[in-house]
């Protein structure tokens, strides 16, 4: 994450168009046709400047929705005598008012979304509905529906909802191609900022392929100066033809409000996640590379005698992976894919992840100063062993950790560079012994008290009996760490 990431505020989004000036009665404007790809141009008269974006909004706005996510949060009412271990031992731990027991409050999140299919499929941000017990969607025409969460994809910060009820004739928006955009193109943002209601704002595309933003695993954002504020998350970034070309997801802000630097997930990535749902999937299946890539710094470029610091340097290749099968080697410099240049690992990762599964893709490589094309198979990471998820309990320092058997599929999901065998941590409960031990998601547990850990059942068995001293060995970030912990 770069030095700007601390100022990024993940927000819920929507936007309103610029107010058009009234045309002079003496020079009535003639309607200007909507722009189509390849026809971008600047206004040529005052009449054109006075034209309105109202037709674009009228076409798209009915498909933009408000998303309300609710979850119950348990909290204690304060201290009581029953918090004393002596009283709890003899009287148990009743809860409720007067006993200092936990109570529930409803936590609400507000965001935006886009209906992308008449059947009621809604695209929004994962952070809008993360942890929600109940999701409700309000349409622009005031109709409200409960919604099911069909798919969550934290790696892209996208989620797909399904409206419950209705007749399958919901207004829907067309997904465009984010690759058709150019810097300077006019765009509209539509959403529900601060809960004030559907709002439209207008701006331009400030930058494309913006990486190193630190929001999601796939760093390849559309940057816009269209006003985006809290509540806009999950809303639409729309081109002048009324097509959704991005899902607004975050802003750069020192104040929490819009400062003209907003980021949207490209529509081409949205399409990959949506297609997973349409094909009946419960998770997103993407091509697996099976190689670790490194950004080319100015020092590396100088050492490799490169004219400029661009490309992705191959650091490691997993045996048997698509990268290995395609002939990729450590030290290769990747400069492009499918005829498109990629300046860094984030750009390559996005381009590779948005390729359809099946077949092959051509990757441009420089090896020892020689340019070449390698053909890499587009295959999903295999789940070579069952996950066998376990939640550790008992009195060990690992209690509260969720672990699964490690496979290429799990390693890809966790973005870990650890071996593709063993037991890996996928979650750590807040305040648990594992949390206090500083166990991290992605840690690969190797050995506990001298017992080698190869499957989750091995770990459950190794932590079942109490011990006065725990010796735990794990792998993290390419390093092997061993800790001695009291029982």
For residue 5, what is the DSSP state?
G
Nearest alpha carbon to residue 420 among 389, 396, 451, 454: 454
313, β-bridge pairs: 294, 333
Please check if 98 is assigned to a binding site. Answer: no
Please check if 127 is assigned to a binding site. Answer: yes
83 is catalytic: no
From the candidates 117, 153, 157, 239, which is the catalytic residue?
157
Please check if 422 is assigned to a binding site. Answer: no
Whether residue 12 contacts residue 191, with contact meaning beta carbons closer than 8 Å, is answered with yes
Please check if 232 is assigned to a binding site. Answer: yes
Nearest alpha carbon to residue 481 among 453, 444, 435: 444
276 is catalytic: no
Whether residue 239 contacts residue 231, with contact meaning beta carbons closer than 8 Å, is answered with no
Please check if 133 is assigned to a binding site. Answer: no
Chain centroid to Cα 119, Å, comes to 24
Structure tokens at 90: 């003899």
Pairing of strands 244-252, 236-239: antiparallel
179 is catalytic: no
Compute the chain's Rg from CA coordinates. 26
Q: Quick one: three-class SS letters along 211-243?
A: CCCCCCCCCCEEEECCCCCCCCCCCEEEECCCC
Task: Concatenate the DSSP letters of all residues of 273-335 into one string.
Answer: HHHHHHTT-SS---B---EEEEE--HHHHHHTT-SSS-SEEEEEE-TTSHHHHTT--TT-EEE
From the candidates 112, 127, 153, 344, which is the catalytic residue?
127
From the candidates 172, 178, 206, 233, which is the catalytic residue?
233
Q: Which residues are documented as binding site? A: 127, 157, 231-233
Q: Which residues are documented as binding site for substrate? A: 127, 157, 231-233
The residues annotated as belonging to the active site are 127, 157, 233
């Amino acid at each position: 994450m770069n030095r700007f990431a601390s100022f990024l505020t993940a927000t819920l989004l929507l936007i309103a168009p610029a107010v058009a000036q009234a045309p002079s009665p003496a020079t009535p404007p003639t309607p200007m046709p909507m722009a189509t790809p390849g026809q971008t141009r600047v206004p040529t008269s005052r009449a054109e400047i006075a034209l309105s974006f109202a037709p674009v909004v009228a076409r798209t706005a009915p498909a933009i929705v408000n998303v309300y996510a609710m979850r119950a949060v348990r909290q204690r009412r304060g201290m009581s005598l029953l918090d004393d271990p002596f009283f709890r031992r003899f009287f148990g731990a009743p809860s409720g008012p007067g006993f200092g027991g936990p109570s529930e409050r409803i936590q609400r999140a507000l965001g935006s979304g886009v209906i992308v299919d008449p059947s009621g499929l809604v695209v929004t941000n994962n952070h809008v509905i993360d942890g929600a017990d109940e999701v409700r969607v309000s349409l622009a025409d005031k109709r409200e529906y409960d919604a099911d969460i069909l798919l969550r994809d934290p790696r892209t910060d996208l989620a797909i909802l399904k409206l419950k009820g209705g007749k399958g004739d919901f207004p829907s928006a067309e997904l465009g191609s984010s690759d058709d955009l150019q810097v300077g193109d006019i765009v509209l943002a539509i959403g529900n900022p601060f809960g004030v209601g559907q709002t439209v704002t207008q701006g331009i595309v400030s930058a494309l392929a913006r990486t190193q933003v630190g929001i999601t695993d796939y760093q390849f954002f559309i940057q816009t100066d269209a006003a985006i504020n809290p509540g806009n998350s999950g809303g639409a970034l729309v081109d002048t033809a009324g097509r959704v070309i991005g899902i607004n997801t975050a802003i750069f802000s020192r104040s929490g409000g819009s400062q003209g630097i907003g980021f949207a997930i490209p529509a081409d990535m949205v399409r990959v996640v949506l297609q997973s749902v349409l094909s009946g999937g419960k998770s997103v299946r993407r091509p697996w590379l099976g190689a670790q890539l490194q950004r080319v710094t100015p020092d590396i470029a100088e050492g490799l005698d490169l004219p400029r610091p661009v490309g992705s340097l191959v650091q490691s290749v997993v045996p048997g992976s698509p990268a290995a099968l395609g002939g990729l080697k450590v030290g290769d410099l990747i400069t492009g894919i499918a005829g498109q240049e990629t300046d860094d690992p984030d750009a390559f990762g996005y381009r590779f992840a948005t390729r359809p599964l099946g077949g092959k893709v051509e990757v441009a490589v420089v090896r020892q100063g020689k340019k070449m094309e390698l053909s890499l198979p587009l295959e999903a990471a295999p789940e070579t062993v069952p996950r066998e998820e376990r939640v550790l309990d008992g009195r060990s320092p690992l209690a509260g950790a969720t672990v699964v058997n490690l496979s290429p599929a799990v390693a890809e999901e966790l973005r870990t560079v650890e071996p593709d065998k063993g037991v890996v941590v996928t979650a750590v409960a807040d305040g648990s012994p594992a949390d206090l031990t500083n166990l991290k998601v992605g840690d690969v547990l190797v050995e506990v008290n001298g017992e080698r850990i190869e499957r989750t059942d091995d770990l459950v068995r190794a932590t079942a009996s109490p011990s006065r001293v725990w010796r735990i060995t794990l792998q993290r970030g390419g390093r092997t760490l061993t800790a001695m912990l009291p029982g």
